[in-house]
Amino acid sequence: MSHVSVRRIALSELTTLKVGGPAELWEVEDVEGLTEATQAAYRILGAGSNLLVADAGVPERVIRLGRAFNDIARMTGERELWLGAATPLPGLVRRAQRLGLSGLEGLLGVPAVLGGAVAMNAGTRFGEMSDTLQEVEVFVGGALERLPADALDLSYRHAQLPQGAVVVRARLRLTASDPSAVQARMDEVDAARKGQPKIKSAGCAFKNPPGDSAGRVIDAAGLKGLRVGDAMVALEHGNFIVNLGHASARDVCRLLVMIQERTPVPLALEWRRWGFDTGGA
């Protein structure tokens, strides 16, 4: 098996917002592949569900962990387990429920892979990645290294990884529970997400300001339905920007600025932006 495959792609194909220009995708299958891919400037792509990528794309290599890092099939019911960073979170949450393992229910509906969920400390008010994360294995400075979760400064939508570190695996600790009890908690999370839009987006654009919801603030300012090109503030939830078809990063950026100008509370971006420091849209 080859360690790495390289191809040119449009990042709009690999982001949930369906926005973003060209890049060189380095899909790696093992540590040798990572060693090769990290010989020049790079970025790390998970499921692309929290990214706004410039229309001009990015000049850096975009590294994505391949199938060899997807351990969904290896989940067998142990409470303490190491899983590869390309394991899809939705499958992980469902499989944990079937196996009678609790701890991941709050992450229902987060369309990430495990590495991206760790890097963002993804979560909802029902629970976040840090609840179960014990340790990570990262590839950094050309070698694998283990870091305890305590060393990552995990907080609301934040993890402090060493510069350039690629999360390769994560060790989670789950608790044994009745599958129907796990399902009941998942139903609760699902119900709380019912008001979120179903069309192309990158989740919430802004972090919630302390004690409030950015969605509520944007809604109260009357901005639902505000539109630049095909980028629109969702009608269902003010903190989602949806792509109605052919939105560009430039459209999305203009809409973000308009929202920030028209809301009374400072709103900080939750999304990661790629390519804007290099003259992109």
46 binds ligand FAD (CB under 6 A): yes
Nearer to ligand EPU, 101 or 204 (CB): 204
DSSP of 102-129: ES-GGGTT---BHHHHHHHT-EETTEEG
DSSP of 69-99: G--GGG--S-SEEEEETTSBHHHHHHHHHHT
Residues 6+ apart with CB under 8 A from 27: 4, 5, 6, 7, 64, 65, 66
Binding residues for ligand EPU, rule CB under 6 A, total 18
**Has 157 been annotated as catalytic?**
yes
Instruction: Compute the distance between CA of residue 24 and CA of residue 187 in angstroms, rounded to an integer.
Output: 40
Q: Which of 43, 64, 185, 204 is catalytic?
A: 204
- Compose the 257-276 pattern: x for residues touching ligand FAD by CB under 6 A, - for all others: ---------------x----
Q: Where do the H-state alpha helices sit in the chain?
A: 31-37, 89-98, 114-120, 179-192, 214-220, 249-262
Q: Which of 79, 157, 227, 254 is catalytic?
A: 157
Given 122, 152, 170, 234, the residue binding ligand FAD (CB under 6 A): 122
120: phi then psi, degrees, rounded to nearest 5: -100, -5
Range in contact with ligand FAD (rule: CB under 6 A) among 5-13, 29-37, 104-112, 145-153: 104-112
Nearer to ligand FAD, 10 or 100 (CB): 10
Nearer to ligand EPU, 57 or 115 (CB): 115
70 binds ligand FAD (CB under 6 A): no
Given 113, 205, 214, 217, the residue binding ligand FAD (CB under 6 A): 113
Tell the smallest beta-carbon distance from residue 234 to ligand FAD (Å). Answer: 10
Instruction: Return the half-sphere exposure (C-beta side, CA atoms, 13 A cut-off) of residue 163.
Output: 1
Helices 179-192/89-98 angle, 10° precision: 140
User: Restricting to residues 178-197, which ones interact with ligand EPU according to CB under 6 A?
Assistant: 192-193, 195
The answer to whether 134 and 108 are in contact (CB under 8 A) is no
**Has 204 been annotated as catalytic?**
yes
**The total number of residues written for the chain in this structure:** 281
202 binds ligand FAD (CB under 6 A): yes
3-state secondary structure (DSSP) of residue 61: strand
Which H or E run includes 9?
Answer: strand 4-10
- Compose the 17-36 pattern: x for residues touching ligand EPU by CB under 6 A, - for all others: --------------------
Residue 280's binding partner among ligand EPU, ligand FAD, none (Cβ under 5 to 8 angstroms by kind) is none
Query: Which residues participate in catalysis according to the annotation?
Result: 157, 204
Sites of contact with ligand EPU (CB under 6 A): 124-125, 192-193, 195, 203-204, 207-208, 213-216, 219, 237-239, 270
